[in-house]
Amino acid sequence: MIEKGKILIVDDDKQVLRTLEFLLETEFNQVTTLNNPNQILSLVRSEEFDVILLDMNFSKGQNTGNEGFYWLDRILKIDSDSIIILITAYGDVELAVRAMREGATDFILKPFDNNKLIATIKSALSLRKSKNEIRKLKQKQQIIAGDFEKQNSLFKGKSLAMESVYAAIRKVAKTDANVLLLGENGTGKEVVAREIHRLSVRADEAFIHVDLGAVSNSLFESELFGHKKGAFTDAKADRAGRFEIASGGTLFLDEIGNIPLPLQAKLLSALQSREVIPVGSNTPVRFDVRLISATNKSIESMIKESIFREDLYYRINTIIIDIPPLRDRKEDIIPMADHFLAQFCRKYEKPNLKFNKNSYDQIQKHSWPGNVRELQHTIEKAVIMCDSSIIAPNDLMLKASEVAIIDSNPLTLDEMEKRAITKALRNNNGVLSFAAKELGIARQTLYNKMSKYGL
């Protein structure tokens, strides 16, 4: 079976070219030969070859290989991922080592062993395919990352309530100080964390998000610190923990208020020593992360109740950023709704959708107990369900009982949270996993909160 692959052979000996062409055209679907090296550059600029076989000596009496190294360098400047196999009649170990060091993939000698030559080219072809796949994957990741940034970028409203947040983000992003983000569910704590990372000197490194509310106590150490093969029943291979993976970048510990006391001590120890010990190992692993934590709980109240360590609290809160709920930034609601409308119109290819006046009124008057997340999901559902060019109030699917101007007696945090959970459960017909996804929390966290509020 002929293997797909474009092979270029460059040699000044026409007999060698004819022999190689005859041999390789039965193995690969395209073989191109060239006996003048001066034509190499124009050819590789106009066509993409999977493997290039390049002679090292073109002038009579030359056996230094310098000509081959010259053309090797010129080709790699055009395509640094080129797979180049150098060929020569002069066997020299030092020459082979230099060839590999300067970018050649392999090195073969004349006269050729046909089977070895074909095997070498096939191996080189596999390498080329792998490089292409990696390049496409990186490009895809860049596109996905770009789309994610667009969809999850921090909305910079004009409300006074957010000015201090923006100022704090700009100041803290330039440092490596630990940051604690406080705020109700749905206020955008993860988006703020990503914005801090994006503006930091670590922006080109990893941003690793860990939802501590979704990590069971038994897997806490394995998830954050890693484990060695055989450390426990399901440990079938070594696994790096999130601290190690995030090293050099930012580690975002969401729902940090959910960690039980015994695990808080282990987390504190890791943060103090800047190293972790994987489960099943005695060897510490150093890490270098910028730590951002977040919670919707009152950590100070938890400290008074002796359910959160005060020393851990001071370790994670070099800088505290308190993100206001949407009800405290009412002037941002309509601009933010327009922002989400434009975003979802692009996503669902409905470019001409607009809100009518009644829709704007309803959006402005709604209490938004689920904050920015609820607004975002409401607009997305409206864009999906709307059958005309105008989004009417009924497209928003907001309950009349929930649309009211916020009065002078704002709800408590617990009351707001209970309402958000009740609404999410109703929206998802009581299915906990779907409701948890809408709220942006783990299923177990939702179950715990339902028990707390008697739902």
The Cα–Cα gap between 394 and 407 comes to: 24
Q: Are 75 and 110 in a shared domain?
A: yes
The reply to whether omega before 262 is within 30° of 0 (cis) is no
Q: Are residues 205 and 183 in the same domain?
A: yes
Q: What is the CATH number of the domain that holds 118?
A: 3.40.50.2300
Task: Please give the average pLDDT of every successive group of 10 residues along the chain, which has 455 residues.
Answer: 86 91 91 93 89 87 82 90 85 76 88 90 90 69 51 74 91 96 94 94 91 90 91 83 92 94 95 94 92 94 93 95 93 94 92 93 94 94 93 86 46 77 78 80 82 76
- Alpha-helical (H) ranges within 102-179 are 114-151, 160-173
- Claim to verify: residue 173 and residue 316 sit in the same structural domain: yes
Q: Is residue 155 part of a domain?
A: no
Exposed / middle / buried, residue 75 (Cβ in 10 Å: 0-12, 13-18, 19+): buried
What domain range is 289 assigned to? 161-322
Report the alpha-carbon distance of residue 375 to residue 398 in Å, rounded. Answer: 10
Q: Do the beta carbons of residue 367 and residue 328 sit within 8 Å?
A: no
Q: Which residues, 6+ apart, have CB-to-CB distance to 311 below 8 Å?
A: 268
Look at residue 35 and tell me if it is in a domain: yes
pLDDT number for residue 141: 57
Tell the residue number behind the tokens 């409308």, with chain if given: 341
Domain tally for the chain? 4
Domain end residue (candidates: 270, 288, 322) = 322
How far is residue 171's CA from residue 175's CA, in Å, rounded to a whole number? 8
pLDDT of residue 201: 95
Question: Comparing C-alpha atoms, which of 102, 82, 5 is closest to residue 40?
Answer: 82
Pair (10, 85) in one structural domain: yes
Q: Per the domain annotation, does 138 fall within a domain?
A: no
CA distance 393 to 372: 19
Amino acid at 154: L
Same domain, 190 and 318: yes
Tell how strand 179-182 and strand 226-227 pair up: unpaired
- Kindly state whether residue 272 falls inside one of the protein's structural domains: yes
SS3 state of residue 339: helix
Considering the domain boundaries, does residue 118 fall inside one?
yes
With a CB cutoff of 8 Å and minimum separation 6, the contacts of 346 are none
Check residue 9 and report its DSSP letter: E
Structure tokens at 15: 């007999």
Q: Are strands 275-276 and 285-286 parallel, antiparallel or unpaired?
A: antiparallel
Q: Is residue 143, in this structure, part of any structural domain at all?
A: no
- Alpha-helical regions (H) of 216-277: 220-225, 242-246, 261-273
Residues 227 and 264 in one domain: yes
Q: Are 64 and 86 in contact (CB under 8 A)?
A: no
pLDDT reported for residue 408: 41
Give the single-character DSSP code of 412. Answer: P
Out of 301, 322, 343, pick the residue that ends a domain: 322
Please tell me whether residues 173 and 312 are part of one structural domain: yes
The reply to whether 312 and 197 lie within a common domain is: yes
Q: Which tokens in the block code for residue 332?
A: 């941002």
Measured CA distances, 142 to 149, 181, 249, 290, 436 (Å): 10, 27, 17, 22, 29
pLDDT at 404: 45
Do 382 and 426 belong together in one domain?
A: no
Which CATH number is 445's domain given? Answer: 1.10.10.60
Same domain, 375 and 427: no
Tell me: do 98 and 7 sit in the same domain: yes
250 in any annotated domain: yes
Domain at 335, CATH number: 1.10.8.60
- Stated as kind and residue range, the H or E segment containing 253 is strand 250-254
| Cβ-contact 192, 252 below 8 angstroms | no
Same domain? 100 vs 47: yes
Domain membership flag for residue 149: no
Bridging pattern class, strands 239-240 and 226-227: antiparallel
Tell me 366's DSSP state: B
Instruction: Please answer whether residues 239 and 283 qualify as being in contact, where contact means their C-beta atoms are separated by less than 8 angstroms.
Output: no
pLDDT at 139: 54
Nearest in space to 296 (alpha carbons), one of 216, 453, 414: 414
pTM metric for this prediction: 0.59
Domain of residue 298, CATH code = 3.40.50.300
User: Which of 293, 322, 351 is a domain's end point?
Assistant: 322
